[in-house]
Amino acid sequence: MSNGDDASGWSEGRGPGEGLGSAQGLGSAQGRGPADSDPTADIGIGVDRSAPGVSRRRLFAWSASSAAGIVLLTAAEPAQAIGGASGAGHGAARSASRQTAARPAGASRQTAAHSADASQQTAAHSAGASQQTVGRSSAARGSTVAASTPVTTQAPPAPRAPAYRIHDLRPDAPADSIALTIDDGPHPVWTPRILEVLRANRVTATFSVVGAQAVANPELVRRIVADGHSLCNHTMTHPQPFSRRTPDQIRVEMTRAQSAIVDAGAEPPRLFRAPGGDWSPAVLAAATGLGMTSLGWDVDPRDWARPGTASIRQSLGRARPGDILLCHDGGGDRAQTVAALRRVLPLLRARGLSFVPL
């Protein structure tokens, strides 16, 4: 309810005194004196004007009760007229009192209802404003937290040093195991011959494949895998010195070789060997970033230089458990390598060493 719709009558411009003056008989008593009007006009209600002995000049005493608003009219004589006038006055006063009491009571109830309604509206408005304020504050806090929370990105894996021993790669490998690695192929002449020697001695090895050779000899890549050997990425073109390439060139060499090996029908290798063992932080980081482990060696008979079959055989024959051996099936004439392997592999097995692929 708005402030201009009060049903008690306060909105019509009347004050409390004017509201109470609506009762009969009280308006003349409170608002006008004997000089303003004929006093008999107000007390003549219920009086027999033909009764004898009633004089207009009689002096009347007026008594007003401020508490109840009741006007008591008293005259000296005649007694009957006084009694009738008094009864009429009392009746009018009681009627006025009831009306007066009813009006303030109704007004009070309406005012109380209005006040309660206004309080509810104010409380609702305050609650809504508080909720909006809290909402805005929460949103502001959320924005502040979101703005102040640093965005973290996953750091690239730390480059790992090349593995030079079997147990660096395979902690579960047998204690008496050694690993043979064959690099730079596949070659259409020397790779099939080496595969025959390995099969005859029940040896499994790891072939470090050059991508260009995989493109040229995909059937040999598949044969290597079919014989139970594992593969290692050995770059696309075997450039040297490899560590002097830019990081982009290093990565391209790796990724192109990986694609060539997969296109030949093999799974992507999880190992990488740098040409010539030429490692650098950029090379290690690139291999690690592509999910590959860098693979080194610790026994190098230098067969790539063709030092002679005996030299190659003697170097390989000194292998100890945990060693990773290096040989080649590509990059030139590998007849010495084939002959040395044919002699040394049975000797190593006779010493109780077992060959494991990496």
Tokens of 49: 């004007």
Q: Distance (Å, rounded) from C-alpha 27 to C-alpha 10?
A: 18
Whose CA is closest to 286, among 252, 322, 323? 252
Q: Are strands 61-64 and 271-272 parallel, antiparallel or unpaired?
A: unpaired
Supply the DSSP symbol for 299. B
Supply the DSSP symbol for 243. G
Q: Distance (Å, rounded) from C-alpha 192 to C-alpha 34?
A: 146
Contact, 337 vs 307, CB < 8 A? no
Angle at 72 between CA 69 and CA 75, to 5 degrees: 160
Q: Distance (Å, rounded) from C-alpha 225 to C-alpha 173?
A: 20
- Residue in 114, 229, 234, 328 annotated catalytic: 328
Q: Distance (Å, rounded) from C-alpha 8 to C-alpha 205?
A: 108
- For the question of residue 328 being annotated catalytic, the response is yes
Q: Distance (Å, rounded) from C-alpha 9 to C-alpha 21?
A: 13
Tokens of 345: 């592999």
- Residue in 183, 184, 303, 323 annotated catalytic: 183
Handedness of CA 162, 164, 167, 170 (dihedral sign): positive
- At 182 the three-state DSSP class reads strand
* Residue 130: C-alpha distances to residues 30, 63, 117 (Å): 51, 58, 19
Q: Distance (Å, rounded) from C-alpha 322 to C-alpha 99?
A: 117
Q: Please provide the DSSP assignment of 307-345 as one string.
A: --HHHHHHHHHT--TT-EEEEESSSS--HHHHHHHHHHH
- For the question of residue 90 being annotated catalytic, the response is no
The catalytic site residues sit at 183, 328
